[in-house]
Amino acid sequence: MNTTVEHADFFKTLEEKSDGGKLRGDYSPADERYVVRQDWGAYTPEQHALWRRLYQRQAKLVPGRACDEFIDALARLDAADAIPQFERASDALYKATRWQLVAVPGLIPDLTFFEHLAARRFPVTVWLRAPHEFDYIVEPDVFHDFFGHVPLLFNPIFADHLQEYGRGGLKALKLDALTYLARLYWYTVEFGLIQGEQGLRAYGAGILSSGGEIGYCLTSPKPRRILLDAERVMRTRYKIDSYQETYFVIRDFEHLFAATEPDFAPVYARLKTMESLPADSLLPGEANLRPNACPEEMVS
């Protein structure tokens, strides 16, 4: 891949997102879409063993904490024993919702990321964290991407939502509004909560792949839990180096799809005239849901 003039600005942006300004992963064999081949045979026995440890820890934590759709799909993936082969998982996913997985070296430019989502392709990082990063990692690795994101792509409503998000991202780039859409992605796809029949459950990949936040988000009295309103979410800043101070809650995936379906152009225009809100804000009239709130509290 030619990474001279054409990709220089992209890599500068990517390095700003990465700890110490250095990106993990080998970008040299990537094509123009930043796609690489998953060399599954190159993973070592030690890496597969680390994957099993990560998987076993999270598999014990998700019952009673993850939404049912995630748990059901995770079982279908049969990925407990080794780092999964993307091609096999992609075949099953395509049959379910016509999504495919593409292997990438690591973080990729926003434009390319949105183009993949808009075409129902989900980018999955090929490298796995080191043993000393078992509990925390700065950049998303294969465990975060696969374990956290892929299962919900088997849900037709969520799968359609993510495609629309990709299309919306391409539009947001043209409107200089990516900051707002990034907040929406963060608070839903990465750190969203959903109201299940038995109480609050997690559906965000950042929560589902975390050993600590998956319990904290549901039971701690510290964070705020607010019913999702897309404009409110896009106005709210977030932190990347701590557990979330606010979680936004959807009633179901239809709620998420409906909330993010309208044209956001006029919303972006309004937001550009307003101050952003701190991550721990609670506005007048907003309900702060109790940990594991009952369904009766989920009113607009």
Which residues form the catalytic set? 144, 149, 190, 209
User: With the C-alpha atoms ordered 219, 224, 226, 231, is the resulting torsion angle positive or negative?
Assistant: negative
Residues ≥6 apart with Cβ < 8 Å to 241: none
Residues 136/252/153/34 CA torsion (nearest 10 deg): -60
Between CA 231 and CA 39 the distance in angstroms is 42
| φ and ψ at residue 266, rounded to 5 degrees | -65, -30
Between CA 198 and CA 86 the distance in angstroms is 33
- Outline where DSSP puts E strands in 143-298: 193-196, 199-202, 224-227, 246-250
Beta-strand pair 121-125/100-104 = parallel
Between CA 246 and CA 235 the distance in angstroms is 13
